[in-house]
Amino acid sequence: MTQATFSLPAQGPFSTLVLGGARSGKSRYGEQLVECAEGEHIYIATAQAWDGEMRDRISHHQKRRGDNWSLIEEPLALADVLRSQITSNQIVLVDCLTLWLSNLMGAEKNIDANVDDLIDALGACKGRVVFISNEVGQGIVPDNALARLFRDEAGRMHQRLAGVCDAAVMIVAGLPLVLKQP
């Protein structure tokens, strides 16, 4: 792993997985990747504002992005959006995959089938896509079955996406560590 500046190619399709812990700077890094690229900037939000704290987090992200972004809110059908709504001139930030995973689990959806569908949709997507996701497997073993299942599903999802994405970056203390590049 090396610390490096990373940039998206001038044209798509291209995919990047950005991983990091809570408050590591991964969303800001992903936003910068998108903002430095030519094309229409699309933000796909997977968060749902279930409470005041989550509404505050969403508001913070919206203010930081500003008005130069188009917004698609999609908590579950992420693959459908990538497959049917994204064009070659668009650069997409998906924030975040672990919230999407949480939404799928809460809706009792088949995780493997949805990750398969996401990977299939990514292969068909004409735009450049930056996925943001929380790396949750580096802490202590959770004390309950649901949290352990979430950690395990997130780890499997990350491995599968890292395998098909063109690039992967880990953010630690705001610094990018390039794990994979073309």
CA distance 103 to 137: 19
CA distance 98 to 150: 9
Assigned token pair, 42: 């699309």
CA distances from 32 to 3, 127, 141, 167 (A): 16, 17, 33, 15
Residue spans of beta strands (DSSP E) within 4-147 = 14-20, 40-45, 70-73, 90-95, 128-134
CA distance 102 to 29: 22
Choose, from 41, 60, 61, 158, the residue flagged as catalytic.
Answer: 61
61 catalytic? Reply is yes
The residues carrying an active-site annotation are 61
